[in-house]
Amino acid sequence: MHRDEVRAAVAKQFAETLQQSEVKLTALPPDQLRVLVDAIGDSVFAVLESWQNEDDAAQAAAQEAAAQKMRTAQVAVQSAAASDESEGWDDDGLTQPDLGEELLWRGRPYLTIGTRYELTNQRLRIIRGILGNTIEEIELVRVRDTKVKQHAGERLLNVGDVTVISADPITPEFELSNVKNPLEVRELIRKATMQERSRRKLYYREDLDDSAEA
């Protein structure tokens, strides 16, 4: 939520609560009452923003550890591939060992509360809601391409939109809006996708199957 949205939500709830309680505020003129309600809304927004700043600090720590996690995952993938024949695993990747799901990156739209993004070594998620949650996600093995869009003002703030193009017919495009460091986020998604497809031995398979069908 933006500041104006928080103000509007607080004002609406304030008016509904007064109406239900049948309390009449006549001591304050309407203009002063409006200022008071806006101040309450700003206070609520400040609290929510402080929570976001805490999440940003956690995100920075997660990004700092992401490179090490991805290197560790890559070593595990290479080790699994090296022992493929000796262990007799199937080429379809279904019997590959599960390396576990690890969080590689977490972010939010710039100056927005109620939406967050998560990238793991297996999937990409968009989580919406403050109290309740609505979750959209896409498996990394279905990611085909990514692109970044930035306006001039967004480049100054180092924010932008990262669009993920997928092979999922239900969600052909997956957009992360107004994320910080969008080029770095795109690179994280690209590397995580390559490693997951390689681990599952699907790096070229889907593209080759599509070409054959065409």
- CA–CA distance, 120 with 139 (Å, rounded to integer): 10
pLDDT for 96: 47
pLDDT for 88: 42
Q: Has residue 121 been placed in a domain? A: yes
pLDDT for 2: 64
Question: Residue 150: which residues within 8 A CB-CB, separation 6 or more?
Answer: 159, 160, 161, 182
Instruction: Work out whether the CA dihedral 115, 123, 145, 74 comes out positive or negative.
Output: positive
pLDDT for 187: 95
Q: Has residue 43 been placed in a domain? A: no
Range of the domain at 135: 51-213
Report mean pLDDT in 10-residue bins for the chain, 214 residues. Answer: 70 74 69 76 70 60 58 58 49 48 90 88 90 86 94 87 92 92 95 90 54 47
pLDDT for 200: 83
pLDDT for 70: 58
pLDDT for 211: 45
- Taking the whole predicted model, whether its pTM rises above 0.75 is answered as no
Total domain count, the chain: 1
Q: Has residue 70 been placed in a domain? A: yes
Task: State the CATH number of the domain containing residue 142.
Answer: 2.30.29.30
pLDDT for 89: 43
